[in-house]
Amino acid sequence: MKAQKLPKKHIPQRTCVGCRAVLSKRELIRIVRTSEGILVDPTGKLNGRGAYIHTTKECWERALKGSLAKALRTDISEQDKAYLLGYIANLPENTSKMQN
């Protein structure tokens, strides 16, 4: 008898809006546009238009220059920008994320 092959588990892939690297969804942080504004979504399950960014300040700084607003299809208000800058203050400066 042949051993049964189990199907491979599908791993969702997402693109970082800061550096454009494609990684598994779990390796990135989701940012979501909601009716209340822009929020960091650690669960990845909030309703709204989402975008994904690495956990490094370098990618966040690039994303805040314009690619995040484009991905979320909105303008980022000063209040939302302050919220996101407060969030990235706790992120690592640089990691070995670029393993393409």
Local confidence band at 2 (pLDDT 50, 70, 90 cut-offs): low
Q: pTM to 2 decimals?
A: 0.81
Q: Which residues, including other chains, have CB under 8 Å from residue 75's CB and lie 6 or more apart?
A: 69
Is residue 42 situated within a structural domain? yes
pLDDT of residue 97 exceeding 60, the answer is no
The beta strands (E) that lie in the chain are given as 13-15, 22-24, 29-34, 37-41, 49-53
pLDDT of residue 17 exceeding 80, the answer is yes
Is residue 95 situated within a structural domain? no
User: Pick from 39, 34, 40, 15: which is nearest to 25 by CA?
Assistant: 15
| Helix, strand, coil content of the chain in percent (nearest 5) | 30, 25, 45
Is residue 94 situated within a structural domain? no
DSSP assignment, residue 26?
G
Domain CATH number, residue 73: 3.30.1230.10
For residue 63, give its domain range. Answer: 13-88
Higher pLDDT, 6 or 50: 50
Domain count, the chain: 1
pLDDT digits (tens, 9 = 90+) for 24-51: 999 999 999 999 899 999 888 999 999 9
Q: What's the pLDDT score for residue 76?
A: 92
pLDDT of residue 99 exceeding 50, the answer is no
